[in-house]
Amino acid sequence: MTVSVKNLRENFAGLVVATLLLVGTGCQSMFQPPSTPASPVALGNAGGDSQTYSVELHSNWSNPTTTRETFSGPVPLQTVLEKSGVSRRYGNLDITVVRVSKNTGQLVRMKAKYDPKRRAIEPQYDYDILANDHVIIKPDNSSPIDDVIKPLNKIVGVSGT
């Protein structure tokens, strides 16, 4: 197979032109600073009211229910829990606060540790609920034995709940 210098020059010139076109058009967004991301519609702008938060309650029997609560300022998570009445029905709870970050527009998930003996959220996890926050409350039916078995399953490589 013989390749002439003329063919190499033409192919190289075509490659350079194609590269310049790609960089000039399609890849241009890689070199521009990122624009402000749009906030998620599901959590950030749901309902449009700036002074509401939503509470998603799960149960062992039925589908989760979501309610929107109106408030006049930051509300402690413990108050939200007491208002929902869930702590009287279940022993241990899995509580997560989902918030849209003002700076990046991304979702931030904040886990809250619940003390079933006191039926209260541990003080360092008693977040202030702000406008457009989404609180997810699920009953945690795990036992102390499950707490021992979960790390062992990860070591052995068994996928568990």
Helices (H), 25-143: 77-84, 86-89
d(CA 37, CA 18): 31
Q: How confident is the model at residue 59, as a pLDDT? A: 80
Parallel, antiparallel or unpaired: strands 52-57 and 134-140: parallel
Q: What is the pTM of this model?
A: 0.57
Q: How confident is the model at residue 158, as a pLDDT? A: 67
Domains of the chain in start order, with CATH, are 52-142 (2.40.240)
CA dihedral 7, 11, 14, 18 (to 10 degrees): 170
Q: How confident is the model at residue 86, as a pLDDT? A: 81
Q: How confident is the model at residue 122, as a pLDDT? A: 94
Q: How confident is the model at residue 139, as a pLDDT? A: 86
Low-confidence ranges of the chain (pLDDT < 50): 1, 5, 8, 16-49, 161
Q: What are phi and psi of 86, to 5 degrees?
A: -70, -35
